[in-house]
């Protein structure tokens, strides 16, 4: 991408979109366009079409999506499948109709089959049943990947899809009902420390294994792939290492300085037993993650504290 090319970052306020925007700015890209959801509702076909016709971006990073953890995915499954189908359909189609040179679509490793072989390879997508609590979101994202591939085949577009593992970092969602596990643990342990609570109760058994990638590493990978990857096949983005939820909780407990007990409620669901991705394809292209988990956890907790106390509330 030329440094002066017009680049649209959809979802620029979210965890992934904000990281991509920061990365582009750091690398000297000067013609960046973005709109908040109140300024441009990507679920509205007419508004999306009109905006693309007016702006004519050359490149698109499609990071806009409705996302959440186990509770949110399970309780608001209709919202997740509807909103994500609308957002990606309107943006991908407009990108084709208004001559976007290249589009990068954000999938997710949580859309792989629940019992996929570990580590999960790109070819494992659609090879088995999905995690039930995540099914609506997964089906929407799979449709987005299939749409990119179908447009490439029929119309000759250059739309690519990446499959990031569990993400964390600045601008994450720390709401306990809709967040993912890592930010939820940070908030739970911090509030337990302040309250002097004897124990923190966590869902499930603590045995599921998860891999965690800092959003800034993902942004770096996305820019790398946008500039160097021409294939239509999906590409995993991860670190190639995982740990149990229990181990993650212990790391965050120590980081926050909480001295109470951790209690797991085994009556609550665990979700997918393991979710480690095979990153050999991306490594063969020349990219590897750089931010160690402990360093990323520390900077994310610092960001959380700044937002909590400077803004007078939790983001």
137 classed as catalytic: yes
Q: How far apart are CA 245 and CA 243, in angstroms?
A: 7
Contact 249, 283 (CB under 8 A): no
pLDDT, tens digit, for every residue of 68-116? 777 777 788 999 999 999 999 999 999 999 999 999 999 999 899 989 9
| Chain segment 26-77, per-residue pLDDT in tens | 999 999 999 999 999 999 999 999 999 999 999 999 999 998 777 777 788 9
Q: Report pLDDT for 76.
A: 85
What pLDDT shows up at residue 179?
A: 82
Q: Do 94 and 128 touch, CB atoms closer than 8 A?
A: no
> What structural domains and CATH numbers belong to the chain?
7-310 (3.40.50.720)
pLDDT band at 131 (very low <50, low <70, confident <90, very high): confident
Pairing of strands 59-62, 102-106: parallel
Q: Binding site residues for NADP(+), as ranges?
A: 11-17, 106-109, 141, 164-167, 180
Residue numbers in the known binding site for substrate are 188, 203, 210, 270
Rounded CA-CA distance 297/182 in Å is 9
Selecting among 8, 59, 112, 137, the annotated active-site residue is 137
Structure tokens at 237: 């983005």
- The string of pLDDT tens digits covering residues 168-184 is 999 999 988 778 899 99
Sign of CA dihedral 228, 3, 90, 113: positive
Q: What is the dihedral of CA 280, 182, 104, 275, to 10 degrees?
A: 40
> For the segment 255-306, what is each residue's pLDDT rounded down to a tens digit?
999 999 999 999 998 877 888 999 999 999 999 999 999 999 999 999 999 9
The torsion angle over the Cα atoms of residues 220, 104, 277 and 210, rounded to 10 degrees, is 70
Query: pLDDT-based confidence at 313, cuts 50/70/90?
Result: low
Q: What does the block give as tokens for 297?
A: 């956890």
Q: What is the 3-state secondary structure (H, E, C) of the chain?
A: CCCCCCEEEECCCCHHHHHHHHHHHHCCCCCEECCCCCCCCCCCHHHHHHHHHHHCCCEEEECCCCCCCHHHHHHCHHHHHHHHHHHHHHHHHHHHHCCCCEEEEECCHHHCCCCCCCCECHHHCCCCCCCHHHHHHHHHHHHHHHHHHHHHHHHCCCEEEEEECEEECCCCCCCCCCCCHHHHHHHHHHHHHHHCCCEEEEECCCCCEECEEEHHHHHHHHHHHHHHCCCCCCEEECCCCCEEHHHHHHHHHHHHCCCCEEEEECCCCCCCCEECECCHHHHHHCCCCCCCHHHHHHHHHHHHHHHHHHCCCCC
Q: Which two tokens stand for residue 34?
A: 């973005």
Higher-confidence position of 148 and 69: 148
pLDDT score for 82? 98
Q: What is d(CA 169, CA 291) in angstroms, rounded to the nearest whole number?
A: 11
Q: Which segment of 89-93, 192-196, 216-220, 308-312 scores lowest on mean pLDDT?
A: 308-312
Neighbours of 161 (CB within 10 A): 25
- 308 versus 303: the higher-pLDDT residue is 303
């Amino acid at each position: 991408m030329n440094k002066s090319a017009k680049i649209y970052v959809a979802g620029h306020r979210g965890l992934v979109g904000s990281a991509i925007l920061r990365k582009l700015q750091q690398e000297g890209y000067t013609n960046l366009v973005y709109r908040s959801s109140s300024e441009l509702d990507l679920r509205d076909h007419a508004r999306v079409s009109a905006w693309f016709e007016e702006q004519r971006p050359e490149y698109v990073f499609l990071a806009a999506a409705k996302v959440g953890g186990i509770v949110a995915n399970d309780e608001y499954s209709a919202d997740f499948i509807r909103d994500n189908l609308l957002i990606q359909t309107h943006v991908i189609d407009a990108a084709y109709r208004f001559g976007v040179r290249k589009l990068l679509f954000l999938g997710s490793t949580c859309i792989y089959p629940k019992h996929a072989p570990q580590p999960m390879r790109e070819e494992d997508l659609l090879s088995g049943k999905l995690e039930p609590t995540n099914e609506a979101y997964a089906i929407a994202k799979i449709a987005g990947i299939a749409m990119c591939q179908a447009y490439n085949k029929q119309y000759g577009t250059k739309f690519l899809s990446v499959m990031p593992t569990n993400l964390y970092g600045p601008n994450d969602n720390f709401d306990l009902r809709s967040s993912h596990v890592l930010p939820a643990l940070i908030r739970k342990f911090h509030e337990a420390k302040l309250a002097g609570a004897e124990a923190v109760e966590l869902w499930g058994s603590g045995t599921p294994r998860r891999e965690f990638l800092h959003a800034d590493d993902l942004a770096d990978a996305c820019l790398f792939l946008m500039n160097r990857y021409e294939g239509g096949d999906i590409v995993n983005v991860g670190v190639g290492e995982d740990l149990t939820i229990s181990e993650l909780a212990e790391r965050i407990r120590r980081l926050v300085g909480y001295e109470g007990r951790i209690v797991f409620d085994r009556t609550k669901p665990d979700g997918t037993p393991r979710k480690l991705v095979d990153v050999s394809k991306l490594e063969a292209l020349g990219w590897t993650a750089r931010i160690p988990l402990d360093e990323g956890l520390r900077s994310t907790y610092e960001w959380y504290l700044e937002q909590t106390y400077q803004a007078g509330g939790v983001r």
